[in-house]
Amino acid sequence: MTIEGAEPAAFADTDIRLLKKAKSLLARLPVRKLDVLACQELGKEVSGAGMDYAVIGRTDIRGIANPDHIEMVKLVVLRLTEATHGNGIGIGVADYVPKTLTDGLDLKSMYENAITSALGEKCRIPIVLPSERETLQAAFATCWNTDPASWRYCQIRNTLSLDEVLVSRPVMEELGADGTLEPLEFDDEGRLLTIL
């Protein structure tokens, strides 16, 4: 942690310098390009906007550019955290979600939060699919990469927990990581079992 004092005349310059340092310390995914990012859970206790824009690379706020440190084609959100109590603010930046997620939304809480923060875009409901399996299938089918062997996939628990990620072979090779590759597993209802 860095704490500095500043004379009134030096306040603006000190603030600019420290803000650059703070931004350089923001959490990031380990790669720049992804076909599909799957965020297992979204929640107010993870980020005020449900997911940290610095991680997912999407602000989706008119007049504010998306960060350029990540290029992601499709974003999937699978679940809400229990602690968020149905406040799914942030869902609006996803491309696809499963019906089980939208069934758990508390629209009153979510919309009050969106209106209070003037972030209505964050509450728009994306395309809803019957199951988590179909949600992921839709993301891969529309990611503009027609070669499954080269799909660049990353799965995170949430944008606050990035110490472990699940990745596809192309991403693992780029990272120079060792590990066992296994197919994603789902239960009979299409709920993802391969989770962090």
- Please write the tens of the pLDDT for every residue from 105-140: 999 999 998 899 888 888 899 999 999 999 999 999
| 98 token code pair | 């499963």
**Where residue 54 falls among pLDDT bands split at 50, 70, 90?**
confident
Q: Rounded mean pLDDT of the chain?
A: 91
Distances in Å between the alpha carbon of 62 and those of 23, 99, 119, 120? 21, 27, 10, 11
The residue to which tokens 């994603």 are assigned: 184
Stated length of the chain? 196
Mean pLDDT of 132-159: 97
pLDDT at residue 62 above 80?
no
Domain residue ranges in the chain: 28-175
Which residues fall within 8 angstroms of residue 161, CB to CB, at 6 or more apart? Answer: 196
Do 56 and 93 form a contact (C-beta atoms < 8 A)? yes
Using a pLDDT cut of 90, give the percent of the chain over it.
63
Give yes or no for a contact between 34 and 58, defined as CB atoms under 8 angstroms apart.
Answer: no
